[in-house]
Structure formats: C-alpha cells, structure tokens
Amino acid sequence: MTTDLSWLIDDRPAEGVFRVNRAIFREPELFDLEMRHIFEGGWVFIGLASQAPAAHDFFTTRAGNVPILVMRDGEGQLRAFVNSCPHKGAQVAQTQQGNSRLLVCPYHSWTFDSAGRNRGIKWQRAGCYAEGFDRDSHDLAALPHFAEHAGFLFGSLAADVPPLAEHLGEAARFLDLVVGQPEAGIELVPGAVTFTYDANWKLQLENCSDAYHFTSTHPSYIKIMERRQRGEGAVAVRSVWAESQAWREEAEGVQGGSYSFDHGHVLNWGRIGDAESHPLHESAEAIGARHGGAGRDWVFNMRNLTIFPNLQIAENASSQLRVIQPIAPGRTLMRTWCIAPKGESGAARRQRIRQYEDFFNPSGMATPDDTIIYESCQRGHASRVDPWLQGYARGMTASREGGNMLSDAIGAAPARSVLADSQLCDETLYHAYYREWARRLGPLLP
C-alpha cells in the first residue's frame, strides 16, 4: 500500500520539482514513527567488529531507544542482544565495554554467558515456578537480525527486513574502501566524543552530504588554514586542506560529485589528492596493491558517506565515524570517533588525530559552526507560513541515472550520480534520503 505523501515530500521529477515540508523536522507524531519504524524498525549501524576483538569481549550501544549489547563468545562468534534482563528489564551489562565470561544482572543475579544463554536463575528450585515459566526462554533476546560487512556491524530490531547485503546494496562498495581498509582491518581510535544539538536528526543527515555550505559556514576554518599555510598558525597541525583545491571557488574541471543509492544511502566527494600530510600517504602503495589503482586514487578524495539512517563516515584530512541518535524532534545526540586503519605508523596516526581534533570535534574549529546552524534552522522550521524548503533543487539537470566512469572504475553501480565542478554543489543526493523516508513511513501515515 502506498500513501500520498505529497504534503510532506513534494517529489515530481517530470516537472523538475523536489521540495520538503518543514513539518518533517518538527512534528512529534512523525518523530515517533521514525523512531519506531526506522531506528527501531530496520537496519541500523551498531558498531565495529574491532570493538570486541577477543573472546568474551562486549560493548554496549543503542538502536533507537533500545539498549543493545554486542558480545563475542568463547568460540569467537559475535552476537547482538537487547541489553535488558528478561526477568525485570535491567541492563545486564553496565559499561560501555568490557570482557566477561558471565554477565550477572545487578538486580536479582540472573546470569548469562557470552553467547547470551541463561546460566543461572537465583534460587530457581526454591522459587515455586509453575510450568509456564519453564516454557519461556530465559536467554537474552537476540536481535532479529545482526550482520557484518567489512568490519561494520548492523542490526535490526524488526524481523521483516531484507538481508543486509540487499539493504546496503551498491553503497557497500564504499564501506570496502573506508580509510583504505587494510588487510588488518579498521579500528576506532581510543577516545569517544559525544555532543548534542537542539535540532532534528535529519539536519545532520543532510549536512554531512552538503557541499554547498563549506565556504559559507566555515570561512573561519578556511582563514586558519590559510594562516597556517603562511606559516603563522599552529605548525604542528599541517593539513591537506591547505593544499586542496576542493573548496576553492576558482578551481576548474570536475572537482567532485555525488552518488545516491537505493535505501537512502548517499555519498558526496571532492578532490584532495595524495599529499605528504595525508595520513594514508605512507599506505598508498599497499592500498593500490589491495584495491587497485582506482581504489587507491579514490581514498585520496574527500568523501562523505551516509548509510541510512544513522551511520556517517567523513573522510578528508582525517576520518570520522558518526552515529546519529535522535532524542526528540528538536534534539539529537551525536556519538563520534576517529576511525583509522589498524597498523598505521605512529606518525600517520598522530597526524590523523591532530587534523581530526581541529576539524571534527565539537571543541574544534568547524563542527560547532554546523551544529549552531542546525539549531538556527530548527527555529526556522517552526514556520507554517512558507512550509516548503528550497534546498533540494541544485543539480536537478546534472543528475544522471546510474554511475559514471569514476564509479565504474571502482566497481560500484549507484542509482544516480552527479559530476560537479567546484560550484555545482549537488542537492539532489538528499532526494535519496527522503525517498527512502517516504518509502518507510508512507504506508503508516494517514
């Protein structure tokens, strides 16, 4: 069943129209549906396999509002559970990470092994339980679906979802190249950074893919890069940004573009190029040997990947993994890490970290200008006078069905693509977000 959603998403490709109603950022009823049917009703990113590398390692996270526990058992098998005791609901794992053969619920001491099996109900024989109790499983509830792709773990709290490979589709190819994906794998640099902003989660979803805002929102960051290039600023924080053409308005020719995929995943990219200050510079040869020349060239582009709805990986002078966690229509929690190839040199890791802190942190010189703008947009979205936003129209006549020679070269087949000069700054890639949003929520709306 499909429902007419045109009062929220005005999608008329034949007429060259795509508009989004401010209501989708604001209305509590829509937010409740998003939480139930997107974040708690389909595939979401829940962590990296390298967060629980050894037998009996575990880490905790959330899917929507639901606490999640990911554990590796004694045989090395990873599983994901609802982190909630079947007895009374308390979390059986209390910490963000740990290692334990047995998890004992702190409320009434029900005990579970690292495969999630119930290993003990305190004073069970004396408990005068009836037969009905014995017919229930007392194990931790496993997520209906849990799967890995290239070290990235995804789970679904709903049973009726397609296999992960189908959900990721052609976007999976871009996970295969994150930070050059060495044979040793990928990891999170120790030190998680968490911040909130008082605006809707979809503002973060969009901004990650927004090539149009950089020179407008971040001129102060560009000013610092130019200062450092002149040798006036922090010498310890050299950056490939300073050497890049991607954000220079006068740069000519193809400077980047966008790809969009089925199921709401999108990617935008821009040229940076290999440079000595790039943390992957030392690995260029190894990346070429593993992923081919086109794969090697690709990882030296600036690129922002969104795996709908909650995973974003931003790679430029450094590399960030972001998890979007909606709290309320006007409030979002962001959990962020520096993601890195395992086994890179100390010098490259240091360079990656320094560039990360300056650009990506809420204590840095770029991200706060984004989040403060989201809050500004959210205040603006109270308006019903002019409900239709006009931020989805750039690139309409440049968007092509299928990929292009650059995606062909790395063996990816996106649903749509745009090749851009430095000023095109495609906005049609957001259409993929909202078409998926409409596909998921449409049947539920009146």
Partner 1 sequence: MTLTRAEAEELLYREAALLDDGLWDDWLDLYTEDAVFWMPAWREEETPTADPDSELSLIYYEGRTGLEDRVVRARSGQSVASKPRPRCVHCISNVMVVRSDSETAETAASFVVHLHDVRAGRSHAFFGRYHHRLRREDGAWRIAGKKILLLNDMIPAVVDFYSV
Residues found near partner 1 in the complex (CB under 8 A): 95-97, 189-198, 217, 219-221, 223-224, 227-228, 232-237, 333, 337-338, 346, 349-350, 353-354, 356-357, 361-365, 368-369, 371-373, 375-376
CB of 21 to partner 1, least distance (A): 24
**Other C-beta atoms within 10 Å of 67: how many?**
17
Residue 76 or 346: which CB sits closer to partner 1? 346
Shortest spacing between CB 222 and partner 1, in angstroms: 8
126 vs 235, beta carbon nearer partner 1: 235
Residue 197 to residue 118: CA distance in whole angstroms? 40
How near is the Cβ of 318 to partner 1 at its closest, in Å? 10
For residue 399, the minimal CB distance to partner 1 (Å) is 30
**Which uninterrupted H or E stretch holds 360?**
none
State in angstroms the smallest separation of the CB of 328 from partner 1.
Answer: 14
The Cα 117–Cα 256 span in angstroms is: 50
- Of the candidates 279, 280, 252, 261, the one whose C-alpha atom is nearest the C-alpha of residue 429 is 261
Shortest Cβ 339–partner 1 spacing (Å)? 11
Taking alpha carbons only, the member of 14, 29, 18, 91 closest to residue 60 is 91
User: How far apart are CB 364 and partner 1 at their closest, in Å?
Assistant: 8
Side by side, the strands of the sheet bearing 97-99 are 78-82, 66-72, 57-63, 97-99
Identify the sign of the CA torsion 222, 225, 226, 232.
Answer: positive
Q: Going edge to edge, which strands form the sheet with 102-104? A: 102-104, 111-113, 118-120
Name residue, tokens 């539920």: 444
Q: How far is the CB of 242 from partner 1 (least distance, A)?
A: 13
d(CA 150, CA 305): 15
CB closer to partner 1 out of 141 and 353:
353
Strand partners, 256: 270, 420
Task: Select 176 or 198, whichever has its Cβ closest to partner 1.
Answer: 198
Q: Which of 35, 25, 47, 30 is nearest to 311 (CA)?
A: 47
Which residue, 109 or 196, has its beta carbon nearer to partner 1?
A: 196
Q: Give the Å distances, CA to CA, from 125 to 102, 103, 129, 130.
A: 21, 21, 8, 11
Comparison of 84 and 320: residue with beta carbon closer to partner 1: 320
The amino acid occupying position 260 is S
Nearer to partner 1, 236 or 385 (CB): 236
CA distance 377 to 109: 48
Query: 433 near 308, Cβ under 8 Å?
Result: yes
DSSP string, 356-408: HHHHTSTTSSSHHHHHHHHHHHHHHTT--SS-EE-TT-TTTTT-EES--HHHH
Give whichever of 74 and 191 is closer to partner 1, judged by the CB atom.
191
Q: Which amino acid is at 442?
A: G
Instruction: Give whichever of 233 and 288 is closer to partner 1, judged by the CB atom.
Output: 233
**Closest separation between CB of residue 206 and partner 1, Å?**
17
